[in-house]
């Protein structure tokens, strides 16, 4: 019961940062699995069953655009930030910096 609560609080906390993390990696086009790997390398783990639907949603919101590459052995869908995505990404970074500064003050002050 309590474990569920903690888990749902944590996933809520992570949700917004995942979007920012995903947008950060898509200045160049990447396909889903490559994106999971590059996020993992940099310390952000994301499950495929979270990422794939998320990519689709961000595309629907016109933050990303996609293209199928069928030339290689495996067909892969490559995603990339759109111009609108760039703008939104920049705004999100500013906001993130403000939040993390503020939070550092709040949480750091308690210690």
Minimum CB distance to another protein, residue 59 (Å): 11
Of 82, 75, 34, the closest CA to residue 58 belongs to 82
47 by DSSP, 3-state: which?
Answer: coil
Minimum CB distance to another protein, residue 31 (Å): 8
Minimum CB distance to another protein, residue 41 (Å): 12
> Of 53 and 102, which has the nearer Cβ to another protein?
53
The residue assigned the tokens 């199928």 is 68
| Contacts with another protein, residue ranges (CB under 8 A) | 31-33, 37, 47-50, 52-53, 56, 68, 74-77
Contacts of residue 47, defined as CB under 8 A and 6 or more positions apart, other chains included, come to none
């Amino acid at each position: 019961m309590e474990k569920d609560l903690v888990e749902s609080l944590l996933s809520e906390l992570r949700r917004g940062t995942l979007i920012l993390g995903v947008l950060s990696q898509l200045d160049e086009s990447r396909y889903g699995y490559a994106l999971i790997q590059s996020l993992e390398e940099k310390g952000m783990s994301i499950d495929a069953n979270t990422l794939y639907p998320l990519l689709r949603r961000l595309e629907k919101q016109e933050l990303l655009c996609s293209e199928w590459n069928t030339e290689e052995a495996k067909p892969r869908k490559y995603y990339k930030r759109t111009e609108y995505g760039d703008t939104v990404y920049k705004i999100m970074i500013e906001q993130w910096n403000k939040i993390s500064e503020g939070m550092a003050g709040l949480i750091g002050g308690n210690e």
